[in-house]
Amino acid sequence: MSTVPERAEIDEQHKWALGSIFESDDAWAEHFETVSGRIEEFEAYEGRVTESPETLLELLELREEIMREVAQLSVYANLRSSEDTRNQEYQALSGKAEALSSEASSATSYIEPEIQELTEDDIDAFIEEEPALAEYEHFFDDVLRGKPHTRSTEVEELLAELGEVTSSPSEIYSMLSNADMEFPTVEDPDGEDIEISQANFTTLQKHENRAFRQRVHEAYYDEWETVRNTVGTSLKKQVRKDVKVARARNYETAREAALDGPNVPVEVYDTLVETVHDNLDSLHRHAEIKRDALGVDDLQMWDLYTSITGEEGPDVEYEQAKEWIIEAVEPLGESYRDRLAEGLDSRWVDVYENRGKRSGAFSSGTYDTQPFILMNYQDDISSMFTLAHELGHSMHSELAQEAQPWHDASYEIFVAEVASTVNETLLTQHLLETVDDDELRLHVLDEYLERFRSTLYRQTMFAEFEQRIHERAENDEPLTPDVFDELYGGLKSDYYEPAVIDDRIHREWQRIPHFYYNFYVYQYATGISAAVAIVDGILGDSATDAVDESAAADYREMLAAGGSVYPIEALELAGIDMTSADPIESALGVYDTYLDRIDELR
């Protein structure tokens, strides 16, 4: 029987180096007590934030000093918790860190409301008197921009204190899906029992045996059916929380509130959905190509993830994936490539799945730490692309933190998903042009088409679903598992018209953790659109063309900008205008081109 190993069975070289943050849990606990005792230092400044430029600067520097320490405590605890979500000791550690973070947010909640008592002219005068405040110009602009949606000091403090409570739906869902749910085993074509997990489900759906794929699909979604009411309730509460917090901040809708945070116009969201809807025929064509290639009368939901060849792709071991990714990012410059390579050798990555480990993948870290990447590597092409994706996030953080002060280093997800997808696109180009293996090249092309489908189309479909369920909450209409099924199933039917939409896929919304991230998913779709345009500018029409060093430098400038400019402005540094439909239409054109290419090769 194939089973998922315990954490202790994983080789140390394939685990992230959390000792670089704190050498032990005891060291974390000692530091926690020190930092916790410093939170009260903020009390001395309440009501005095703008009494003088010197006082304001002093407070901002204190905030940075303490918050950087809080961030390190939080990241260490959260990463330990992610290693094994069953470990109650680390769950408690994570809970303590979250409480401390909430306490620190509450203790500093008066800062922005008091700054908002100033005008732009007041800020200019402060900077003239205390030039060190010039470093905070973008921060001041962002604070003043939020004035219409900032409440009194008392309300802001209450909202900050409630942060630990309002995150409950997401935390409950995470514990249920990662720690408590146990998926069944299914027998593979060789008679071996395979344990389904959150991490390997998609991989199993790529198996060449169609009957096995169907068994996995049915067993997996039948297990979700057993927790239908719990997941439905957690999602309903998440949506209603989004709506109530938005109203508390004087926004008309939760979507408006979510997009106003990074200063992204709502029209960007609408343009994405409208443009993708106008091009559903390309997605339908992809489904038809897959159906014909597989030689089946009906394309079923358990066929969607399979290779267009009808066979599983070749194995790609972790060491080989590292080598190819390092080679692929070379057009971004020698310094970028070398730093990425060094990171892979410095245990940035927690590589393999273990029992209880959080599913999926992410990049984490703080201003004062190295990046940390969680993977559940499965020795396949998909895992290689996911590694390239997360390394894009990590390198973005490295460049931004090197170039920007702490308060300007953190960037918005809107640009983060560009950085990750640029790496995926470069990897595709590199492998298609350099690897002398037709089977691998065909699977790489198929993988990239699948990522296009799942990133541009699927995430836009998710964005539509998210918008519709929030609209229902805003109109005081009921949100039940049946409603979620109906809305999701309808969208699935629109997007995948040539395929058979079975009853089980209607409940796919249950397995999507991003619905707890408050209008997050659309940024994957805008991200791939911008990324394709950036890579096209760097490489030209073919990877054999000379690299445009100027375009590569512009892209690195965008990464290094971090949060010192708003996301739309950051992309403009790389020559991308996301307020128009042009990048989306350009990406869809590339999708069509690759469909032509794979139709010719198969």
Residues marked as catalytic: 390
* Helix axis angle, 522-539 to 413-434, nearest 10°: 50
- Spatial distance between the Cα atoms of 478 and 472, rounded to a whole number of angstroms: 7
Q: Which of 8, 30, 79, 105 is nearest to 369 (CA)?
A: 79
Q: Which of 567, 569, 566, 571 is nearest to 554 (CA)?
A: 571
- Spatial distance between the Cα atoms of 322 and 349, rounded to a whole number of angstroms: 11
Report yes or no: 208 and 306 within 8 Å, Cβ to Cβ: yes
φ, ψ for residue 507 (rounded to 5)?
-100, 15
Length of the chain counted residue by residue: 602
CB 52: neighbour CB atoms within 10 A? 13
Hey, what amino acid is at 153? Answer: T
Residue 601, helix vs strand vs coil: helix
Q: Give 135's contacts (C-beta < 8 A, 6+ positions apart).
A: 405, 407
Report yes or no: 398 and 338 within 8 Å, Cβ to Cβ: no
Which residue in the block uniquely carries the two structure tokens 């927790």? 227
How far, in Å, are 22, 69, 315, 522, 584 from residue 27 at the CA level?
A: 6, 13, 41, 40, 48
Q: Which of 181, 269, 279, 309 is nearest to 523 (CA)?
A: 269
Q: Which of 8, 554, 46, 499 is nearest to 300 (CA)?
A: 499
- With vertex at residue 167, the alpha carbon angle to CA 522 and CA 49, rounded to the nearest 5 degrees, is 95
How far, in Å, are 49, 122, 242, 282 from residue 111 at the CA level?
A: 7, 16, 24, 50
Tokens in use for 360?
């999926």
